Amino acid sequence: MAGEAHPACGVPGTVDRQELRVKRELFDIPEGVIYLDGNSLGAAPKHVAERMQEVVRHQWGTRLIRSWSEGWWEAPQRIGDRVGRLIGAAPGQVVVGDSTSVNVFKALMGAVKGTSRTEIVCDESTFPTDGYIAQSVASLTGLKIRGAHPSSLDLTEDTAVVLLNQVDYRTGALNDMKALTEQAHGVGAQVVWDLCHSAGVLPIELDALGVDFAIGCTYKFLNGGPGSPAFIYVPTHKQATFENPLSGWNGHREPFAMETSYEPDPGIVRARVGTPDILSMLALDAALDVWDDVDLAELRERGLELTALFRAQVEKLTNLEVITPEVRGNQISVRCPDAKAVMDELIARGVIGDQRPPDILRFGFAPLYVTDEDAIRAAEVLAEVTR
């Protein structure tokens, strides 16, 4: 547990737990609740509600349309840079807006535009929306789509792009971004990484690893709120040739010129589409404040400690099978008969996780607000329910 080595992060040192634990006081978590579903919806930072009062009452209520020129218009890029710091992207390469599904579509279409290659390879264990969007892109472009496990991609010179998840949403398994990106580039293919279950979990190095595109949501471990806008990463060297398939007015070089023909912005702005959802966007902006002083390496080590502690307790107290491998994100998944009924009872007893059919219980550990005591008690309640 403490000091557990991890191949994706190097060898951890000693964790100053107080630095992370004190953050719990910044979140709205009801008394008596152990919240282990940050991998589906992060807990609300307490100050977000007050900030949104100011947005609604002053920025919208008093400043009215003037607020567009007082910070609203640039919000997708400004907040994108805040997310960029958490995923290893230098400023000017991440923009926030739209949904994860829409951004997967943008990234895949941008990757296959003009290619003479014939296939898209998609992680066969991916979250369904990624697969659905990949199928749509294949249908629109005439490319074939092939599912493959990250451990056996079998890429060839026919492969145009590979769509991969850094952390598997069912099992919590962590894929090796460096090795898999190099594997794709080795055959001349591009790679799109889905960071939905890794952003806010571990240090990510998109720039350093030469990733082609990345997308992700902000409502899980980043605590942006239900349906908060997603993000897309397009590295600087690809921006001039990236063709956003959704040529909305927000991505235009001069959106207020109201020209009849589309000319994309030369930078990351070209990844924008339509008018941003300002209320949701600024709620995310407020939520990101809790990340300003977080050391991601320390956060990562703390997440490994919490998940190791929970795993050990589950294996000690129950006969349930833990299906999460050692190389993992901040999630422990357990195979359990009657998973839905068991999770319903856990929630009734104040332990909130979730389940995925047919028989998987998922527990997501957000180190900013989950403690050792939470991990131990959650395992004890699970043992009581399944005894």
Give the pLDDT of the chain (387 residues) as one tens digit per residue. Answer: 333 333 333 333 344 444 555 588 899 999 999 999 999 999 999 999 999 999 999 999 999 999 999 999 999 999 999 999 999 999 999 999 999 999 999 999 999 999 999 999 999 999 999 999 999 999 999 999 999 999 999 999 999 999 999 999 999 999 999 999 999 999 999 999 999 999 999 999 999 999 999 999 999 999 999 999 999 999 999 999 999 999 999 999 999 999 999 999 999 999 999 999 999 999 999 999 999 999 999 999 999 999 999 999 999 999 999 999 999 999 999 999 999 999 999 999 999 999 999 999 999 999 999 999 999 999 999 999 999
Domain end residue (candidates: 291, 323, 358): 291
Same domain, 161 and 285: yes
> Measured between alpha carbons, how far is residue 222 from residues 88, 110, 247 in Å?
15, 26, 28
Paired tokens of 244:
């956003």
Provide the domain limits for residue 33: 17-46+295-386
Give a yes or no: residue 7 inside a domain.
no
Same domain, 196 and 254: yes
Same domain, 280 and 319: no
Give a yes or no: residue 308 inside a domain.
yes
Same domain, 250 and 362: no
Same domain, 280 and 176: yes
Give a yes or no: residue 5 inside a domain.
no
Q: Where are the beta strands (DSSP E) in 16-85?
A: 27-28, 34-35, 44-45
Cα separation, 190 vs 63, in Å, equals: 45
Give a yes or no: residue 9 inside a domain.
no
Residues 6+ apart with CB under 8 A from 49: none
Sign of CA dihedral 358, 219, 246, 91: negative
Same domain, 75 and 197: yes
Give a yes or no: residue 312 inside a domain.
yes
Domain end residue (candidates: 275, 291, 307): 291
Count of alpha carbons within 13 Å of 26, Cβ hemisphere only?
A: 19
Cα separation, 177 vs 5, in Å, equals: 18
Whether residue 231 contacts residue 215, with contact meaning beta carbons closer than 8 Å, is answered with yes
Domain end residue (candidates: 291, 319, 342): 291
Which amino acids are annotated as binding site for pyridoxal 5'-phosphate, given as ranges? 100-101, 127-130, 194, 197, 219, 249, 275
Count structural domains, the chain.
Answer: 2
β-pair type (321-322, 213-216): unpaired
Active-site positions? 127, 194, 219-220, 362
Same domain, 312 and 269: no
Supply the pLDDT for residue 23: 80
Same domain, 32 and 155: no
The CATH number linked to 337 is 3.90.1150.10
Paired tokens of 37:
């579903």
Same domain, 75 and 96: yes
The CATH number linked to 146 is 3.40.640.10
Q: Hey, is 2 helix, strand or coil?
A: coil
- Scan for tokens 């009849």, then name that residue: 260
Give a yes or no: residue 56 inside a domain.
no
Same domain, 40 and 103: no
